[in-house]
Structure 1
């Protein structure tokens, strides 16, 4: 049996189950990384800059199935190891950067729900971070006032700790800091008084889940709520909050940018692109520190002059490719990183890695040789439609499905199995939008 891979059983299971399901595993992606070393090296350099107080925006552009989502998950793994707080969210028809009907705050809520740290890589880490920060303030207050750590937690000192919470928040936040501080004081009160509901209400506010100011005032005594217009200020506040706790910075990954391209009204689409521009300018002009945004989308999303990012002139001038770049000479320092498809050698290495992980997961040894893996690849890449439609996602899924069939039916003829594979066009019908009338 293959034992030469350093992988946790939980990671192996996540990798196999996710890839068979056609999605990227949330954990363990570093074990199946192939052919992206230059991109990762450039990303590590960028992370170092952000840790040192700069901010950054990157656009990861590639065809459908070329590994954009995979890349974002890989960036997470690297950033978490570098002590960043990381969050992921997808643009959807109901989640966007600019809106006036709750769709922008819905994106914010998705980001806050998915906050991850190294000890909680799968997300949901906001309560952990809140309590960690509060513990830091409690310790500082106790030391400063010469009170024991046990005593300081009593209700007698509640106001003292709360005023320190407010003072600390005021020092690190700008827009909306007062309400942010008030809510964290309420969270602390719930923490000390064992009032779960108060803590839940505070988290609900921080995650942008209050829909009316009246309800928030009633529950928490605050005048404002997180909404479509101020959510970006809240993300910047959280970034400062995380850095004040000793984290390197805050990295936010936004995938499926096709859903901005798909917005049917040109005015609303432009407003979303304007928001990307203002984030871009903030990050590159030094208006914010320790913040890293990654956007992922297809080439069409970037370059389409009528609906894509290039339809917004100020973005086009910033995102055009370095004209000295060629397929052989790449510039990974520019904001747009184009993900080239894996070549056949890289796919072969990847399938070998997957076989090892599959065997580790099922505690077995697959009866499939390197020659047979090559035969499988040859069958796939020579099928009608392969050149046009075949993506790594489909190759991986078919390969794992074959391993699963062979695991349960070891006597089957592999050549026949390989021959039965059919290539499907799995690309979403996303660009047939040119027929839509602009509203």
Structure 2
């Protein structure tokens, strides 16, 4: 068990007083869930070995699904995984819009050293690993940056089997170039664009020769590139928790059906995303009623 600080203890008690699941330190109060926790650990080992997979966590209101999901994310980070914990909401999360899913995943992306918004830190770690692998000749080799840039490209192509969108590769290249020139603000803006932001100016996007925003039809291909970078940065993979999927049941019929079909598409494709585990929680109503999973036979 990790050493807890006074701040962690206070956070746990305050969260419990409000009827909420603490976001950290909950391994100290995790009892009686060894079987479920062991299954999560088994899934993590599959992902570490290069598999892509999806797991559903089912239980009634108040039974501890969110606690188990939070604990799974903490366990994953302690085992060298990046994680993203996303709570489904009617207003901000449409599961059939993969650009929505992607943006929320990237916003909540975290690691053991960077709890939230970690993609910039992950990028820096990847670049640093490449620079270290090329030796210590950076000051003496005028072509050093070009060699690093080529390795960035080669790593992405190799890890994604060439399936990363060209815009994704172009933005990564431009971010590296801007960082080398000391243009940190512009590089940060393009990192925000890669995280799904729609508030990036045309002049900044022009630097990377891109237009518009990440669209639903390509968002999961961008996610493939993100997983590749996470692994190249030295992490063992990515765990995405989607909590409270039963919220979908309160959506309008057309949106509900599209969202369920979106989950079906993710489940169908899970095996083709090596290094990625989806963990989705839901109540029995989500799984058993015609408004939920039972109403979409393929799912």
TM-score for the superposition, normalised by structure 2:
0.90
1:107 aligns with 2:101: yes
CA deviations 1:161-190 (Å, max 9, x no partner) are 323322322222343432212111222122
Match of 2:116 in 1: 123
Aligned-partner Cα distance in 2 for 1:159–1:59: 44
Q: 2:215 aligns with which of 227, 232, 257?
A: 227
Matches within 5 A, 1:280-295: 280-283=267-270, 286-295=271-280
CA contact (8 A) 1:282 1:288 kept: yes
Which structure: larger Rg?
1
1:164 aligns with 2:148: no
Q: Which has the higher contact order (CA 8 A, sep 6+)?
A: 2
**Which deviates the most, 41-50 or 175-184?**
175-184
Aligned-partner Cα distance in 2 for 1:159–1:202: 20
1:313 aligns with 2:297: yes
Query: How many residue pairs align between the two structures?
Result: 296
Aligned-partner Cα distance in 2 for 1:172–1:225: 24
CA contact (8 A) 1:169 1:177 kept: no
SS in 1 for 2:15: helix
SS in 1 for 2:217: coil
Deviation of the 1:213 alpha carbon: 9.9
CA contact (8 A) 1:252 1:293 kept: yes
Deviation of the 1:38 alpha carbon: 0.8
TM-score for the superposition, normalised by structure 1:
0.63
The verdict on how the C-alpha distance between 1:20 and 1:150 changes in structure 2, with shifts beyond 3 A counting, is farther
Match of 2:230 in 1: 242
Matches within 5 A, 1:197-276: 197-210=185-198, 217-223=205-211, 225-266=213-254, 268-276=255-263
CA deviations 1:106-150 (Å, max 9, x no partner) are 332221121111222x3222111110001122233x43xxx6134
CA contact (8 A) 1:80 1:118 kept: yes
1:195 aligns with 2:183: yes
* Structure 2 unmatched runs, 5+: none
Deviation of the 1:281 alpha carbon: 1.9
CA contact (8 A) 2:122 2:229 kept: no
Aligned-partner Cα distance in 2 for 1:6–1:197: 37
Match of 1:45 in 2: 42
CA contact (8 A) 2:155 2:232 kept: no
CA contact (8 A) 2:190 2:204 kept: no
Deviation of the 1:310 alpha carbon: 1.2
SS in 2 for 1:271: helix
Aligned-partner Cα distance in 1 for 2:100–2:272: 25
Deviation of the 1:54 alpha carbon: 1.6
Deviation of the 1:301 alpha carbon: 1.2
* Structure 1 unmatched runs, 5+: 316-439
Q: 1:149 aligns with which of 138, 158, 161?
A: 138
Match of 1:17 in 2: 14
Match of 1:97 in 2: 95
- Cα RMSD, aligned residues only: 2.3
The verdict on how the C-alpha distance between 1:188 and 1:212 changes in structure 2, with shifts beyond 3 A counting, is closer
CA contact (8 A) 1:84 1:251 kept: yes
Deviation of the 1:40 alpha carbon: 0.6
Deviation of the 1:251 alpha carbon: 0.6
Deviation of the 1:207 alpha carbon: 0.4
Match of 2:170 in 1: 182
CA deviations 1:356-386 (Å, max 9, x no partner) are xxxxxxxxxxxxxxxxxxxxxxxxxxxxxxx
SS in 1 for 2:54: strand
CA contact (8 A) 1:80 1:117 kept: yes
